[in-house]
Chain A
Amino acid sequence: MQTATATAAPGWAPVSAMRLFLRRLGVVLAAGGLVALAGFWLTPYAPGGADFLNRLSPPGRAHWFGTDQLGRDIATRILYGGLWSLGLAFIVVTVGAVFGTLVGLVASRGGRVLDYALMRTTDSFFAFPELIAAVTVAGLFGPGTFNLMLALILVSWMKFARLVRSLSLSLAQRDFITQAQLNGLPEWRILWHHYLPNIAPGVLVLWTNSWSRTILAISGLSFLGFGVQPPNAEWGAMLLDGKAHMQTAPHIMIFPGLAVLSAVLAINLVGDRLRDLLAEQHQP
């Protein structure tokens, strides 16, 4: 904190808590990314590299988290599994957020009939819990990564649509929007310069929240066999893979689960802090 205030130019308001937080978050993310990259670089094992002489060996110096029933290094697989779990959820939520934001903006700015139609559609999609939707799509179209993502995207956008619609409806009443309209700004310019910047923080908080939920959903579905299929090293799929051996070698199920728990916990904590900071900003 001291460095941030010291580097701020004289005569300027000190860097806001939000910027400071985002800066720190960036540092932490960069550090985490570097460590992970180093892991990919340093590990001598491949995620699918079976070693039948070293099956189910407990955690030790050669294999930090032990090996699984095929002798694959669990630590390496968790690293690669992170790409699957975090990455797939990232894509799902980002696509859902963009689409939901568009729907919310159109509903709130497009007149009553469009609003009613879009919001009832949103409600209809809301009726499908993520898991049910994903299981159904997996059942009808066959299990697999692509269908899993399709299903999760189908049911991920509605929260964003509702949030953006309500934020945008309340923004429409604000004086600065009226001023922009009176000054002759076209609708797209008002949306881009006035609506989106004021909607973005709320969307970001929801995005964080949805990201962690989607990670849970993906790993759960993969564990149940409806998502990413073994031998791909998704965390839930690893648990499914090792379930039969968990009594003889508990480490095989401890570490992937811990990975899910800590990733989700970390993202949730970031999201909570972000939400609190935003709440503070609104009542200075």
Chain B
Amino acid sequence: MPVRSLLLRLAGLLAVLFGVSLIIFTLTYLAPGDKAMAIAHARYPDAMGFAPEILEGIRQEFHLNAPFHMQFLHWLGGFVTGDFGLSYASGAPVWDIFIDNLGETATLALAALTLGLVAALVLSSLAVWHVGGWVDRLAIILASVGAAMPGFWLGLLLILFFAAQLNWLPAYGTGTAAHLVLPALTLAFWVMASQTRLLRTFMLEAYGLPFIETLRLRGVSEREIFLRHVLRHASIPALTMIGLDLAGLLEGAVIVELTFSRGGLGALLAGSVLARDFPMVVFLVMFFAVAYVTINSVIEIVQDAVDPRSRAGGAAAARKSGAQA
């Protein structure tokens, strides 16, 4: 049975990936403007105008005259075999440009995630220590404000204060570790806010479980109950939520990168969009979508493997919907 459900999940994943690529291709197909002209401009940046023969040649080369489904299959075929095309803007392979920029975003996201998680863990632990106390209230306020805070505005405030007023840190650009501090702080604040809220809820839930009371009656110390039982109970759902919020992290990274004029995937996406560099845009969107879908499928599969209840629930739900039809 597990093999069968795994196969079903993989089939579902493939169906979703197909859907994702169909959506993206349809968008590029519907986009206004002459794509042959865009390619010609990218290829011969100095030329002022193009002879119709040249444009027709490009259309032949890129199958732009073929019907929709043929274009789609051609494009999908290239994508599946690892041929992502050349950037219109620079002429370099899309993949190489992507790899050059990936590190920057990954560094930012990892730094922010670490910082935010540590802060959230400390804050929520202190909060549940005295529920209703001032730390708890502070945690709730920070979580609410963090969820409502526009990341770009927080970035601007930090720049204004730490870079412009105090002159401690560089405001814009990439390079040294000092450049990473403000962007990472901006993004970490969002991570901290969302994770504090979740961790606090999960910890309180764990404290409400009957076996905690049993442990207390047995004389297990509060410290040990917290470290060995409550924390473990709360961390599993919290880790799952991080996976689910990966999209939020990526979005945040894009906004922060652009706010601080950093390099990275966000800047690359924005730059490609403004330059109407179709292959680059399509590849980046595919990357974000595929990464998101894949990670979430893996999380679901792992959850199924770890927690027999969700598996039983899934089977019951399947049976119910079967009985319905």
Whether chain B is bound by chain A comes out as: yes
Docked-complex contact A130 and B251, CB < 8 angstroms: yes
Question: Within the assembled complex, what's the spacing in Å between the Cα atoms of A223 and B20?
Answer: 27
Q: Which residues of B contact A140 (CB under 8 A)?
A: 27-28, 30-31, 273, 276, 278, 281
Q: Which residues of B contact A52 (CB under 8 A)?
A: none
Q: Which residues of A contact B255 (CB under 8 A)?
A: 131, 220, 224
A240-255 near B? 1/0 per residue, CB < 8 Å: 0001001100100100
* Most chain B CB atoms below 10 A, which of A173, A223, A243: A223
Docked-complex contact A129 and B247, CB < 8 angstroms: yes
Docked-complex contact A261 and B148, CB < 8 angstroms: yes
Identify the A interface with B (CB < 8 A). Answer: 111-112, 115, 120-121, 123-133, 135-142, 169, 172-173, 212, 216, 219-220, 223-226, 236, 239, 243, 246-247, 250, 253, 256-257, 260-262, 264-265, 268-269
The closest CB in chain A to the CB of B24 belongs to: A136
Docked-complex contact B144 and A269, CB < 8 angstroms: yes
Question: Within the assembled complex, what's the spacing in Å between the Cα atoms of A125 and B16?
Answer: 9
Query: Assuming A112-B325, A125-B23, is B281 touching A239 (CB within 8 A)?
Result: no
Query: Assuming A139-B281, A224-B258, A253-B153, is B320 touching A264 (CB within 8 A)?
Result: no
B257-287 near A? 1/0 per residue, CB < 8 Å: 0110000000001101110101001001100
Docked-complex contact B153 and A260, CB < 8 angstroms: yes
| 5 smallest beta-carbon distances between A and B, as pairs | A139-B273, A124-B19, A257-B153, A127-B289, A140-B31
Query: Assuming A141-B31, A219-B150, A224-B255, is B248 touching A129 (CB within 8 A)?
Result: yes
A216 contact from B150, B284, B321, Cβ within 8 A = B150
A169 contact from B20, B276, B285, B320, Cβ within 8 A = B320
* Most chain B CB atoms below 10 A, which of A124, A246, A268: A124
Q: Which residues of A contact B23 (CB under 8 A)?
A: 124-125, 128
Q: Which residues of A contact B32 (CB under 8 A)?
A: 141-142
Question: Within the assembled complex, what's the spacing in Å between the Cα atoms of A223 and B32?
Answer: 24
Question: Within the assembled complex, what's the spacing in Å between the Cα atoms of A230 and B205?
Answer: 47
Q: Which residues of A contact B272 (CB under 8 A)?
A: 139
Closest chain B CB from A239 CB (angstroms): 7
Question: Within the assembled complex, what's the spacing in Å between the Cα atoms of A120 and B19?
Answer: 8
Question: Within the assembled complex, what's the spacing in Å between the Cα atoms of A141 and B276?
Answer: 10
Tell me whether chain B's interface is mostly helix, strand or loop, or mixed.
helix
Question: Within the assembled complex, what's the spacing in Å between the Cα atoms of A179 and B245?
Answer: 41
B145 contact from A133, A224, A265, Cβ within 8 A = A265
Question: Within 8 Å of chain A (Cβ to Cβ): is B106?
Answer: no
Question: Within 8 Å of chain A (Cβ to Cβ): is B157?
Answer: yes
Question: Within 8 Å of chain A (Cβ to Cβ): is B290?
Answer: yes
B10-24 near A? 1/0 per residue, CB < 8 Å: 001001111110111
Docked-complex contact A253 and B156, CB < 8 angstroms: yes
Docked-complex contact A135 and B273, CB < 8 angstroms: yes
B282-313 near A? 1/0 per residue, CB < 8 Å: 00110011101100000000000000000000
Question: Within the assembled complex, what's the spacing in Å between the Cα atoms of A141 and B20?
Answer: 19
Docked-complex contact A139 and B251, CB < 8 angstroms: no
The closest CB in chain A to the CB of B255 belongs to: A220
Q: Which residues of B contact A141 (CB under 8 A)?
A: 30-32
The closest CB in chain B to the CB of A268 belongs to: B148
A212 contact from B12, B148, B259, B285, Cβ within 8 A = B148
Question: Within the assembled complex, what's the spacing in Å between the Cα atoms of A88 and B169?
Answer: 37
Docked-complex contact B289 and A137, CB < 8 angstroms: no
Query: Assuming A139-B272, A139-B281, A253-B160, is B152 touching A224 (CB within 8 A)?
Result: yes
* Most chain B CB atoms below 10 A, which of A136, A212, A239, A269: A136
Closest chain B CB from A119 CB (angstroms): 9
Docked-complex contact B276 and A139, CB < 8 angstroms: yes
The closest CB in chain A to the CB of B12 belongs to: A120
Question: Within the assembled complex, what's the spacing in Å between the Cα atoms of A223 and B256?
Answer: 12
